[in-house]
Amino acid sequence: MLKEIYIQNLAVIKEAVIPLDRRLNIFTGETGAGKSILINGINAVLGQRCTKDIVRTGCDKAVITALFTELSDEVCAKLDELGISHDEGEITVTREISADGGSVSRINHRTASAALLKEIGAMLINIHGQHDNQILLDSDRHLQILDDFGGDDTLLDEYRVTFRELQQTARRLGELKKQEQSRLERSRTLNEIIDDIGELELREGEDDELEKEYETAKNSEKTLIAIKNAVSLITGDETANDMIVSAETEIAAFTDNSTQLSALYERLSAAEIELADIASELEAFADKVELDGQRLEYLGTRLNNINKMKRKYATDCEGLIKLYDDACREIMQLEGSGSEIKELAEKRDALLHKVTEQAKALYDYRETVAERFTKRVTEELEFLNMAGVIIAVKHEKGKLTVNGMDTVEFLISANKGEEPRPISRIASGGELSRIMLALKSVIADKDAIPTMIFDEIDTGVSGKAAQKIGIKLREIGRVRQVICVTHLSQIAVMADNHLLIEKQIVGDRTETHVMQLDMDGRVSEIARIMGGEDPSDLMLDNARAEIKKACGL
């Protein structure tokens, strides 16, 4: 609960320490005394947007600090998640607003963002002001109110798990179907690559090997002719060998007379032997040279096919092999996507059936909740002096959403004999306030938020209706901490803790003070509300009697 608020330099509030009770806390004061400033201060400490205009004139900054105690398990779990200590189930939340427009937020002296304050604050306090009556005018909010009243989210939680899985499945299926056309086009391209390159059955480095073999094979015939000619020149008629023999004969008779000529004769003899040996080796080499026309044709065709693919895909032999391997892997993945589409379609259909059945069960549950809801709210409205009002729940089936297939709208009939119609068409401001209070009342014991703030919920009501509102606020205060700003005595007398917001002139400045009232103070304030300034003794006696009556004294 909110145990204490400290305010410094907030508009006309110079400094205030405001103690709060765990039950019904009532703030009263003259119009313009600063009751709205108090609500603004609480909003600020809850992370709501605020401007530098709320800083007291002449001051550097405004400071609002709130002490929360008896934190719920949900809040403690969130604080643990954020690494924020909460010794003895307590935290302090501070918001500083600078005159230059900046602001600093802290939880237990640890700096926190306004967004974090808002998240934590939403778990600590629920503020209901006149603008919150718009909830009743917005049929989209009625389903949430009905679920809050029901109090059991088991079916809804189970439905949402399935619905979100269905959404994800349908989204993935849609993405795959959009990709299907490009997948088919890509498949055609990949299959062309696989057909082109796969048919070649390439080996790494094969093109270089084939080029060398082809060049060798292509030159085999010319090589054989050249070898035969060379052998013929060496061993045939009028060959080089014959000329060497003739030369030997010419100088043989003169070798004895000249050592130099003898040496030259020996060299000619050696040349004759060498030529004969060369001729023999050429003949042996010729025997080894193969002349295979079919092989040459095969090599030429294969090289032509490989080079054609090289040009088509602008890469070398190794690149073609990699391109083929990559295409094979990718085509398998694409074929897997096709099977995934089939699997997802089957999964989507199964989930759609499941979520539809869950939605029907949720609809039936809400139908029974709606019956209890109308009964309870009608009872509350009767108590709040709206006995002639009939409230109904228009509950129909619609399309599947994250909240089910239900469409819910609250209808009322303000006068006997009239058909219930949408609240937005016929309810007055005062009726809206009491209807909203009735709704808050029936869900008070189901709401996990420990503190409820009502800002002038009594607008548009008076007399007996106001008294009933006060009684109802006091009842809610037995299960939740309630803070209420009011200008009606019928509500103020119900307070467990009555605080007066009063504007005073101190020196040449206006200051708003917040004072916790004792019994005498309460009597004076209630009498003022009833009859204005300087109440008579009779008015004071009436005020005292009303307070005692409200408190059961």
Residue 211 pLDDT greater than 70, yes or no: yes
Residues written for the chain: 553
Burial of residue 162 (number of CB atoms within 10 Å: 0-12, 13-18, 19+) = middle
pLDDT given for residue 132 in this prediction: 57
CA pair distance 400, 406, nearest whole angstrom: 8
Better-scored residue on pLDDT, 444 or 15: 15
pLDDT on residue 158: 96
Judged against a pLDDT cut of 80, whether residue 457 lies above it is answered with no
pLDDT value for 526: 93
DSSP letter for 400, please.
E
Is residue 516 within a helix (H) or strand (E), and if so which, with residue range?
Answer: strand 509-516
Tokens read off for 436:
């909203």
Nearest to 501 by CA among 41, 28, 54, 32: 28
**Predicted confidence band at 335 (pLDDT cuts at 50, 70, 90)?**
low
- Give the pLDDT score at 98: 92
Task: Give strand ranges (E) for 77-134.
Answer: 91-98, 103-107, 110-112, 125-128
List, in sequence order, the alpha helices (H) in 384-451. Answer: 423-426, 429-443
Predicted local distance difference test score (pLDDT) of residue 339: 73
Mean pLDDT of 46-58: 85
432 pLDDT exceeds 80?
Answer: no
Given a cut of 60, whether residue 157 has pLDDT beyond it is yes
Burial (Cβ within 10 Å: 0-12, 13-18, ≥19) of residue 415: exposed
Ranges of each domain in the chain: 1-129+456-517, 185-332
pLDDT at site 290 = 64
pLDDT at 250 over 60: yes
CA atoms of 382 and 374, how far apart (whole Å): 12
As given in the structure block, the two tokens for residue 497 are 């803790």
HSE (side-chain half, CA atoms, 13 Å) at 276: 9
Which residues neighbour 136 within 8 Å (Cβ) at sequence distance 6 or greater?
410, 423, 424, 427, 432, 435, 436, 439
SS3 283: helix
Give the other-Cβ count within 10 Å of 208's Cβ: 11
What local confidence, expressed as pLDDT, does residue 238 receive?
Answer: 61
Yes or no: say if 227 and 285 are a contact pair by the CB < 8 Å rule: yes
> Would you say the C-alpha torsion 367, 369, 372, 377 has a positive or negative sign?
negative
What does the pLDDT look like over 380-431, one tens digit per residue? Answer: 888 888 777 888 999 999 999 999 999 999 888 877 777 888 876 665 666 6
Question: Distance between CA 522 and CA 553 in Å, rounded?
Answer: 15
pLDDT at 338: 62
Grade residue 553 by pLDDT with cuts at 50, 70 and 90. Answer: low
d(CA 475, CA 437): 11
361-397: b (≥16 Cβ within 10 Å) or e: ebbebbeebbeebbebbbebbebbbbeebbbbbebee
What was the pLDDT predicted at 356? 95
∠ CA 298-303-306, rounded to 5°: 125
Separation between Cα atoms, residue 23 and residue 20, nearest integer Å: 8
| 512 closest CA partner among 187, 19, 37 | 37
So what's the pLDDT on residue 18? 92
Local confidence band at 260 (pLDDT 50, 70, 90 cut-offs) = confident
323 Cβ partners below 8 Å, 6+ apart?
Answer: 193, 197, 313, 315
Query: For the chain, first and last CA: distance in Å?
Result: 27
Other CB atoms closer than 10 Å to residue 302's CB: what's the count?
16
pTM of the full structure? 0.63
| pLDDT band at residue 23 using 50, 70 and 90 as cut-offs | very high
Q: What is the per-residue pLDDT for 404? A: 94
Cβ atoms of 515 and 499 within 8 Å: the answer is yes
Look-up of token digits 């809206």:
432
pLDDT in tens, 117-152: 888 888 888 877 555 555 666 777 889 889 988 988
* CA 115/CA 100 separation, integer angstroms: 20
Q: 461-468 long-range contacts, Cβ below 8 Å, gap at least 24?
A: 461/430, 461/433, 461/434, 461/488, 462/488, 463/490, 464/385, 465/384, 465/385, 465/386, 465/430, 465/434, 466/490, 466/491, 467/491, 468/383, 468/384, 468/385
pLDDT tens-digit profile of 55-93?
A: 888 899 999 999 999 998 888 888 888 888 888 889 999
Residue type, 270: A
- Whole-number pLDDT of residue 122: 83
pLDDT at 349: 95
Cα–Cα distance for residue pair 450/431, rounded to 1 Å: 26
Average pLDDT over residues 41-55: 86
Given this structure, which CATH class describes domain 1-129+456-517? alpha beta
Alpha carbon distance 197, 335 (integer Å) = 20
Q: What residues contact residue 256 under an 8 Å CB cut-off, 6+ apart?
A: 262
Q: How far is CA 371 from the centre of its chain?
A: 37
Tokens of 334: 């694409």
